[in-house]
Amino acid sequence: AGPIWVKSSNGGEKVFDMVLFATGRMPSTSDMGLEDLGVKLGRQGEILVDEYSQSDVPSIYAIGDVTNRVSLTPVAIREGMAFAQTVFGGEKTPVDHELIPSAIFTQPEMGTVGMSEEEARDAEPVEIYATSFRPMQSAFAGSSERVLMKLIVSKESRVVLGCHIVAPNAGELIQMVGIAIKNKLTKEQFDTTCAVHPTMSEELVTMREPTRTA
């Protein structure tokens, strides 16, 4: 098969060797009579809610995929916990949908959290720290499989804005990095953390020079 030509909904066009077609899911809210009750629905049928998962009808809340915010199981669980704390715990608890780590369990896995390089470049001047290498486990096994790691860093604040990993067990790695990025750690705080050797993840705290700036 030849290259795959993709045209996106915003008019952009790109050519790829492979495309992972992950269609996702649509909220199933038709024929429920929600709009008759005054509940507003979005373009894809999602229930529109505020930061506390409350709809336009004060007595109706919605969490999970039906709100089409971030359609991931752990996010729905977090929304449910926040709802319980808000309604039954007496403490209004919003859900932060920013900086949610996620992974694609292909082979190798892909993990991501925070801004992409493109998003960060459009927002502010950034430094990109990236590395691609053959990990020790590949070398010992006689495999040519390589690992890719990238950190997106704000030039001004030095805060790490995003991290992207393509590697075996990238899902496990990105969970830990997500804690650091959510708490707005700087590149220098990454750098002063001692590495665990020999591991793939030590590269995250040993990249010293940016590969490019934007």
Q: Report the pLDDT value the prediction gives residue 1, as an integer from 0 to 100.
A: 66
Fold of 102-213: Enolase-like; domain 1 (3.30.390)
Clarify whether 97 is annotated catalytic. no
The catalytic position among 8, 197, 198, 208 is: 197
Q: Report the pLDDT value the prediction gives residue 153, as an integer from 0 to 100.
A: 99
Q: Report the pLDDT value the prediction gives residue 34, as an integer from 0 to 100.
A: 96
Architecture of domain 1-97: 3-Layer(bba) Sandwich (3.50)
Report d(CA 47, CA 96) in Å as an integer: 18
Positions of CATH 3.50.50.60 in the chain: 1-97
Regions of the chain with pLDDT less than 70: 1
Q: pLDDT by residue (tens digit) across 14-56?
A: 999 988 887 778 899 998 999 999 999 999 999 999 999 999 9
Give this prediction's pTM. Answer: 0.86
Q: Report the pLDDT value the prediction gives residue 15, as an integer from 0 to 100.
A: 95
Report d(CA 33, CA 36) in Å as an integer: 5
Q: How many CB atoms lie within 10 A of CB 199?
A: 13
